[in-house]
Chain A
């Protein structure tokens, strides 16, 4: 039975309106970031700038150590992502292909941490990082994030689709675990590794709660921390600069998403929940 057009068309309209509402802020930021302040205040509803200017971007790079801030964000996101991928991959391999005592309990303990609110661990974590002198350092932001429960979960889901007989056959041929991982498992789960990696990179890039506790001085800030400074000027004169910093903060995640969206949506839609 086909769906009637009279049912489908109103829903198309609802979807399109929802998408316009969701995407409008991005377009608004992009347009405003190239406006002069006067233009931004006088023509709020006009997305396209009257006299496009790079002034706002230049102001950001002149008023803050913008290059250092961007590099900090990049370093934190890359290092954390690489480590999280490695630790998740190894742990997921153990959970899927090896038998050991307490396997299910351990897996359950790791995964249930997804549901622990960060406030439960924030004070001790802050004390640890401050105890080893890493407050106000990008390494203090990175250190607690070298392993990740969601990563273990997503990789395990993907590895579970590999026939166990393939691994058994390799073991009978006396092929070591290192080679099984590298030559058999990794090629088969590469799409999941790629999209999990991109998801890690983007979430760490965007991270706010933990860096805001650890990073104190402007030259150690990440982009989201630099951006939040512009809120205090509500109604002030920094509006268009704030839009430029917003664009800089979101350009990398958006580009990655647009390039890899097929992979990413695939991983989140095929992994299932359990």
Chain B
């Protein structure tokens, strides 16, 4: 008995040694900042003056009564919709097709589709700004052959969100595709082969076998498409439009940055960040509740 306790104490001492580097970094740069941002959301401050003024819920009320907030929230949902179609639904379909239908060039397709994930989004933003230049870019020239005039996307509501989402997807698509492919590839071949022998059409195999059996991964990709996708979009927004024209391309993440480091309103920024996180959290809970019954956990 006493022997066992000694061993346990020794073990736990060693455990903490192994975890301490991680815990220190996470405490200082993740957990404490998280709490401090909640604290800041109740104060009026500009990052420079020595004193912060306690204002209660005023920052939250300010953010909620600002008309721009609703424009930006609307934009955020439009971004989410575009990103989900391009980076969740299409990669799901591609992964299914590559695993079940295409038997040749599999390795090449995987490597090539994953490749842009390794390139900086600043590079992507710069390259696409030129490639999609509405007057002199290659795409505009080719569209011109067919008499189609390219919209000046960086100045038009809606268009600007679509193009910035496409630029972001250029980088994100491959990672999501690879993760989904791995999951579909891990489904037992016997079930799929049996369905095929029975001449079950491919779309039925997709909806009745593949989708339910890869749904744990599917949910993971769904979540990162929203949570990380919106953060990835930050880069093209900052590099190309700075949220303009007139907030038309800003989203909740970019606007929190804008409030903090351009307008120096830390209270507004903190309140907006906390609310964004709550919205993410609600989305996650809804998603889990909604699909919980259908989940099939791999492994």
Residues of A participating in the B interface, judged by any CB pair closer than 8 Å: 1, 3, 7-8, 11-12, 15, 18-19, 22-26, 28-29, 32, 41, 44-45, 86-88, 90-91, 93-94, 98-101, 106, 110, 113-128, 143-144, 146-147, 152, 177, 202, 205-206, 208-209, 212-213, 223-225, 227-228, 230-231, 234-235, 239, 242-243, 246, 249-250, 253-254, 256-257, 261, 264-265, 268-274
Given A1-B196, A208-B122: A269 in contact with B181 (beta carbons within 8 A):
yes
**Distance of A12 Cα from B97 Cα, bound (Å):** 10
Distance in Å: Cβ of B147 to nearest Cβ of chain A? 17
- Pair B14/A8 contact, Cβ less than 8 Å: no
Residues on B with C-beta less than 8 A from A228 are 122, 125-126, 238-239
Mask, B109-124, CB within 8 Å of A = 1, is 1111111101111111
Is B111's CB under 8 angstroms from A261's CB?
yes
Does B261 count as interface, using CB distance less than 8 angstroms? Answer: yes
Taking a contact as CB atoms closer than 8 A, the residue among A23, A45, A243, A272 that contacts B299 in the complex is: A272
Q: Per a CB cutoff under 8 Å, which of A32, A44, A90, A273 touches B136?
A: A44
Selected from B36, B103, B280, B284, the residue in CB contact (under 8 A) with A124 is B36
A117 touches B115 (CB 8 A): no
Asked if residues B217 and A273 are in contact (CB atoms below 8 Å), the reply is yes
Min C-beta distance of B30 to chain A, whole Å:
5
Asked if A94 contacts B94 (CB within 8 A), the reply is no
Partner of B124, one of A25, A118, A239, A272: A25
Q: How many A-B residue pairs have CB under 8 A?
A: 271
B contact patch SS:
helix
Residues of B within 8 A of A115 (CB): 223, 227, 280, 284
Residue count of chain B within 8 Å CB distance of chain A: 104
What residues of chain B lie closer than 8 Å to A265, measured between beta carbons?
110-111, 114, 178
In the bound assembly, the distance between CA atoms of A160 and B125 in angstroms comes to: 39
Besides A231-B125, A274-B299, 4 new A-B residue pairs in contact (Cβ under 8 A), listed by A number? A22-B112, A90-B18, A264-B114, A272-B299
Please, which residue of chain B has its CB at the minimum distance from the CB of A8?
Answer: B101
The residue of chain A having its C-beta at the shortest distance from the C-beta of B111 within the complex is A261
Which of B25, B131, B224, B272 is close to A147, meaning CB atoms less than 8 Å apart? B25
**Given A224-B123, A257-B115, CB of A120 within 8 Å of CB of B34:** yes
Q: Which residues of B contact A205 (CB under 8 A)?
A: 120
Which listed residue (A28, A93, A147, A202) contacts B21, Cβ 8 A? A147
Q: Which of B257-278 contact A (CB under 8 A)?
A: 257, 260-261, 266, 269-270, 272-274, 276-277
Nearest CB of A to B94, in Å: 7
Contact flag A274-B216 (CB < 8 Å), given A3-B101, A23-B112, A124-B32: yes
Q: Taking the complex as formed, is B88 at the interface, i.e. its CB lies under 8 A from any CB of chain A?
A: no
Kindly identify, within residues 170 to 228 of chain B, every residue whose CB is under 8 Å from any CB belonging to chain A.
Answer: 170, 173-175, 178-179, 181-183, 185-186, 193, 196-197, 199, 202, 216-217, 220, 223-224, 227
Q: Does B57 contact A (CB under 8 A)?
A: no
Residue in A19, A26, A101 whose CB lies within 8 Å of B119: A26
Residues of B within 8 A of A86 (CB): 21
| Alpha-carbon distance A257/B115, docked complex (angstroms) | 7
Which residues of chain A have C-beta atoms less than 8 A from B182's C-beta?
268-272
Most chain B Cβ neighbours within 10 Å, of A116, A120, A231, A271: A120
Q: Verify if B297 is at the interface (C-beta below 8 Å from A).
A: yes
Q: Interface-forming stretch among B62-70, B155-163, B229-237?
A: B229-237
B56 at the interface (CB under 8 A from A): no
B34 touches A116 (CB 8 A): yes
